[in-house]
Amino acid sequence: MGLTDNETTLVMLDSSNFSSENVNTTEINLNDSPPNVTASFNFALKCLDFFNFYYLAIIIIFGMVGNTLNFLVFTRTHLKLRSSSYYLAALALADLGFLLTLLVVWLNHVGVDLFNRQGFCQALVYTSSVCSCLSVWLTVAFTIERLIAVQYPLQRPYMCTVRRAKIIISVLTLTTLTCHVYSLFTAGITDAGPDGKSICDLLPAYYRFMHVVNLLDTVLTLVIPFILIVVMNTLIAKNLIVFSRTFNRKKSRSNNSSAQHIQVS
């Protein structure tokens, strides 16, 4: 998450452009290198291109199937009566949206170039930004609910309701959609690709602006969520350990009392 959400998608694009078809250009720059170095570099490029093609395909296919099944399970079964199921369903939907944008980028490998077209470029960058940010904060919201359930088990039915979960998810979604509107203007079609090829990239006029956005994005989608999740999971683990020790003590006392009663009898 060190990159901004826009840059995450753009890096995926760059990896698809930086394939074996660009090896010839690279070889020109490596003419002065030893033959074994050039051969090793070309082999590494081919391995990277092969890995990028099949590895991404596997992730996209299994990820889309898994998230679709998760969404259906949490919204079409008895689990929909639990507030936590709505967080997990929304998280599955956000991850599914990001995988769809990744699929469009991957289609460049098979000659279907939708990402590098005006309109598609901005829409896909915006969608990937929203989905990735929303996924992070839905995880935080779900972790908060788990902490409430462990820390305050008696108040949980009143604090963690389905209605409240829907409100929180709606607020997070609307906030994320609003905060990433800039993605529709900072990305566009440029001639920054190999051999002057037109690709979807960050527009040069917004380099300085996106540098500031990158810093804010790192804080809001990496640092703060990471700290919150670590702290809350630590508190959850602490409460579970205390509960386990208390339960074991009561169980031990109960067993001792039963044994003494049997001996007296």
Whether 254 maps to a domain, the answer reads no
**Mean per-residue pLDDT for 31-43?**
61
**Mean per-residue pLDDT for 16-42?**
50
What CATH number does the domain containing 84 carry? 1.20.1070.10
Closest alpha carbon to 100 in 128, 69, 120: 128
Whether 261 maps to a domain, the answer reads no
Res. 173: pLDDT tops 90: yes
Whether 265 maps to a domain, the answer reads no
Whether 31 maps to a domain, the answer reads yes
How confident is the model at residue 254, as a pLDDT?
A: 64
Whether 154 maps to a domain, the answer reads yes
* pLDDT tens digits, 46-102: 777 777 788 889 999 999 999 999 999 999 999 888 999 999 999 999 999 999 999
Least confident among 58-62, 95-99, 114-118, 134-138: 114-118
In whole angstroms, give the CA distance from residue 201 to residue 186. Answer: 9
Q: How far, in Å, are 7, 56, 106, 110, 257 from residue 22 at the CA level?
A: 22, 20, 17, 16, 78
**Sign, Cα dihedral of 66, 67, 72, 73:** positive
**Mean per-residue pLDDT for 133-152?**
94
DSSP classification of residue 3? S
Comparison of pLDDT for 42 and 174, the residue scoring more: 174
Q: How far, in Å, are 11, 136, 139, 263 from residue 203 at the CA level?
A: 14, 26, 32, 84
Whether 257 maps to a domain, the answer reads no
How confident is the model at residue 116, as a pLDDT?
A: 87
100: buried, middle or exposed (CB in 10 Å: 19+, 13-18, 0-12)? middle
> What whole-number percentage of the chain has pLDDT above 70?
78
> What whole-number percentage of the chain has pLDDT above 90?
50
Whether 260 maps to a domain, the answer reads no
Structurally, the chain folds into a number of domains equal to 1
Domain that holds residue 113: 5-248
How confident is the model at residue 246, as a pLDDT?
A: 77
Calculate the average pLDDT of the chain.
82
Whether 135 maps to a domain, the answer reads yes
